[in-house]
Amino acid sequence: MDKKKFRQKYNLFLVEGNKTINELFNSNFKIKEIFSTDPQKLDRANVPVTHISENELKKISFLQHPKDSVAVCYLNEEKKLSDQNLQLVLDGIQDPGNMGTIIRLADWFGIEQIICSKDTVDFYNPKVIMSSMGSFARVNIVYENLTDYLLNTKNLNIGTDMDGENIYSFERPERMNLILGNEGNGMRPETEKLLQKSVMIPRFGKSQSTESLNVSMAAGIILGQLFGVRE
């Protein structure tokens, strides 16, 4: 189940930990069954729960230090919402930790939808699910042909680029997509062509050797700015 092809074959994915599993009861996700060392901590038992030992949990968990439960859940049917006023668009994000962090950011800022290129890491990947800390259940995530999508959206497509407009003077448009590129290569040239504008976070440190900020950190700082209320 750590491989996309198996998740798709069986239409199932795993969620670990009572805390996140309990949140699923109030979400669109359906749980097939739960294996738990501590079933009392599960909110509701309207799904089959098997009481298992710590050792059994270790065998089915993807975690180095497994928590209390593993839930086997059904994949949701992907369904794109109409464009929201502020959306994230991911162009080839590969690192599950970044993906999870970005989903968590979206949830924090109340962003309801993330549009991903087809080659963006699968959000059902167990590392994404874990690092999103339950937020995956509150954000609608869809995988689209990005060129088609960006061509047809009525939102302004805003990229991130060191040559972009300073985020501190950028005026947030009424409707926008914030586009985040691949960790190593950035956005695809086809995506860049479809941008109306780019923004950048100025570097205040003096050293030229300083690495660019990680994509999820950059997303957080930009979102922080976009939500800022300027007097």
Structure tokens at 103: 């989903």
Question: Site for a second copy (CB under 8 A): which residue of 109, 142, 161, 183?
Answer: 109
Closest among 192, 194, 193, 212 to 202, alpha carbons compared: 212
Question: Site for a second copy (CB under 8 A): which residue of 3, 9, 43, 110?
Answer: 110
- # of chain residues touching a second copy (CB under 8 A): 43
Structure tokens at 171: 């005026």
- Tell me whether residue 79 or residue 206 sits nearer to a second copy (CB atom): 206
CA distance 228 to 165: 17
Structure tokens at 99: 């993906």
Nearest-10 Cα torsion for 89, 95, 97, 103: 10
Q: Does 18 bind a second copy (CB under 8 A)?
A: no
Q: Which of residues 111-170 bind a second copy (CB under 8 A)?
A: 111, 133-135, 138, 167-169
CA distance readout (Å), 138 to 75, 156, 184, 219: 14, 24, 28, 18
Question: Site for a second copy (CB under 8 A): which residue of 52, 99, 105, 158?
Answer: 105
Q: Does 227 bind a second copy (CB under 8 A)?
A: yes
Site for a second copy, rule CB under 8 A: 23, 26, 101, 104-111, 133-135, 138, 167-169, 201-207, 209-211, 213-214, 216-217, 220-225, 227-231
